[in-house]
Amino acid sequence: MAQTKAAALYIRVSTDAQREEGYSIEAQTEMLEAYCKSKRIKAYDFYVDGGFTGSNIERPEMRRMIDDVKQGRVSHVIVYKLDRLSRSQKDTLYLIEDVFNPRGVDFVSLGENLDTSTPMGRAMLGIMSAFAQLEREQIRERTRMGMKERVKSGLWMGGGRLPFGYDYNRERGILVPNEDAQTVRRVYDLYLQGYSPNSIAEMVGLKYDRLVVQILTRKTNIGVICYNGVEYQGRHEPIIDTETYEKTMDMMRERSVQRIATTENLLTGLLVCGKCTAKMRYQKWGKAGHKLVCYSQQKSKAYLVKDADCDNERVWADEVEDAVIKDLHKFAIEQNDSDNSPQTATNAQDVLKQQYDSVSQQIKRLYALYANDGNDLLLETIEGKRRDLANIHQQLLREQERNTTTGKLRETLNKIESLADIWDYMTVKEKQDVVRRCIDKVEVKNNGVSIHFKVL
């Protein structure tokens, strides 16, 4: 039995455009329904994206419409105006040429009188979409040029995250040192005295040592504004002088050369304390080697401490590594032996896709209700549903990523079935790559080791 097709009436409104005449949901709905009646199109379905930009096609109802087109459920795609579909020429042409046309789906835009079922309509489409793209690029270029002119004149670009130690004076358009400026000066002083970023973070009350590095390398502190890789002299007051900054950069380069990398450690980043769940680290233990130590016992990085009273034993790193390598080889053989077993588990992606489609339908119905009576309470419900839809979308992305990771893991397992024979001939980097592809974490509790392999 042939599948019944319907026209897809696509509506998009941005946050600002909802108040503009001719762009509201209700106005677009009326125009599209009137067109369908004039063309005697009885079967149609609405796809409504409220509050989404036209600069890309990553919109819930747009994605649903694309899926329906690919499933053969759509006969036409009809919009009020071309820019409702997309403001990007690339996206517009992709939708028309790669999604609609191959499946015999005609595209109609009422505002430009476009109909791709005719040769003239197809020709006009290319012209109109080019102008839509041109308009968007001109707006972006004007914004960029305006920003550049501001910065060239020494003014702050405005918006975004402010540099630590400064506030933004909107009236004057410049940065103004605040009470944290003294902390910035102290960070430089301590670093030049030889303290590490981690020690400095603890002394001045910053949460992470990387924040210290960001402060040290930021040229805003000497009155310079960096924009698109170019430096401009700012009008704002410097927190430190140029000489201090240059001395700091010289010392950072010297320390970088002197730093000894710890890439020889096989399990770095995978170790977890089996008692308090804090991360663990390798610690040099005289000439005998390394031991694994819980960060809760180190106190060197306060934000990594899970239990200040953790009494997990310190174990020899080579013993744990040997246990991991032995189990890794066993794991590879077991997984390859069971690789052909029947798959009975429910496909998580299918379940999430069903949830996505269900919530999308609910949003569509809510927009239809709002178009009829304009009840603002419905907007709150719609916003909640949109958040639910965004969460499901993120879960779908994570599931896709997990499936990709699983594919890489299977590939790795196939290669390391003879791990015991080739391990001693592999480089450190190759060994680390194998371990990280197969293992999620390694829990160490006193003398016991629990290895958590990634699930296929």
Q: Which residues are catalytic?
A: 14
Question: Which is it for strands 315-316 and 224-227: parallel, antiparallel or unpaired?
Answer: unpaired
Work out the burial of residue 51: count CB atoms within 10 Å of its CB; fewer than 13 is exposed, 13-18 middle, 19 or more buried: middle
With residue 140 as reference, give the H or E element that holds it: helix 119-152
Work out the burial of residue 359: count CB atoms within 10 Å of its CB; fewer than 13 is exposed, 13-18 middle, 19 or more buried: buried
Please report, for residues 3, 185, 199, 200, 385, the alpha-carbon distance to residue 238 in angstroms, rounded to integers and kept in the order given: 70, 11, 25, 21, 48
Contact assessment for residue 291 and residue 316, using Cβ atoms and an 8 Å cutoff:
yes
User: What's the token pair of residue 365?
Assistant: 């119905």
Q: How far apart are CA 282 and CA 278, in angstroms?
A: 14
DSSP class of residue 442 equals E
User: What's the token pair of residue 271?
Assistant: 């170790």
CB atoms within 10 A of CB 353: 15
Question: Which is it for strands 44-50 and 6-13: parallel, antiparallel or unpaired?
Answer: parallel
Which are the contacts of 50, defined by CB distance < 8 A and separation ≥ 6? Answer: 12, 13, 18, 25, 367, 382, 386
